Amino acid sequence: MPKIDIIAGARPNFMKIASIIRALELARNTGSRLRSRLIHTGQHYDASMSANFFVQLGIPRPDINLEAGSETQAEQTAAIMTRYEALLMKQPSDLCLVVGDVTSTMACAITAPKMRVPVAHVEGGIRSDDWTIPEEINRIVTDSITNFFFTTSKTANQNLRRAGVPIDRIYLVGNTMIDT
């Protein structure tokens, strides 16, 4: 049975994964053999930035918490990457599903292919063209190594096409934040 890692680490991720988790539960209830595990990277970890969202959105408790904590961006990225790599070495996955553009997104998207795990990016192709914000760098890095792109708009599709992504790897699915 294929196993999907659903990565979430920061407040915006929790809202985005809620509808994805519901869709996977529905698929399992109708006979799908897909399995998933929810991995909290610990990028946001206090109750107001994390636990409260799980309760309010009806998201199950994470299967695994990497407990990255709050350090500098480089230290946090390194903690997420080394801990996710260790997890994949012990318990491999068939797909790493990342959402959005936070540090957790980029860190796991870099780690997965090095462990021979393909990456799916929900909200792929979004661009601000403002390289002064860390999220834009996270988007560019993540999309440069993603295998499957789930996009929110035709503009995101066009951004990916301009970057050379083949059309058969791009799926226009809408906005999971709005779905939630």
- Phi, psi at residue 162, to the nearest 5°? -60, -30
Structure tokens at 149: 């792109």
Nearest CA-CA partner of 107 in 133, 131, 142, 136: 142
| AA identity, residue 100 | G
pLDDT averaged per 10 residues in sequence order, the chain, 180 residues: 89 85 90 92 61 69 88 92 98 97 96 98 97 96 98 97 98 76
Rounded to whole angstroms, how far apart are CA atoms 53 and 74? 26
Rounded to whole angstroms, how far apart are CA atoms 164 and 158? 10
At residue 69, the pLDDT reads 79
Which residues are registered as beta bridge partners of 5? 37, 96
Q: Could you tell me the domains of the chain?
A: 3-179 (3.40.50.2000)
Q: How far is CA 105 from CA 6, 51, 92, 97, 139, in A?
A: 10, 19, 18, 9, 9
Do 171 and 150 meet the contact criterion of CB atoms below 8 Å apart? yes
Kindly report the pTM of this predicted structure: 0.91
At residue 117, the pLDDT reads 98
Structure tokens at 39: 């991995």
At residue 15, the pLDDT reads 83
At residue 45, the pLDDT reads 54
State the sign of the Cα–Cα–Cα–Cα dihedral 105, 106, 107, 111.
positive
Q: How far is CA 169 from CA 67, 125, 165, in A?
A: 32, 12, 7
Rounded to whole angstroms, how far apart are CA atoms 92 and 112? 10
At residue 58, the pLDDT reads 74
Which residues are registered as beta bridge partners of 171? 150
At residue 54, the pLDDT reads 62
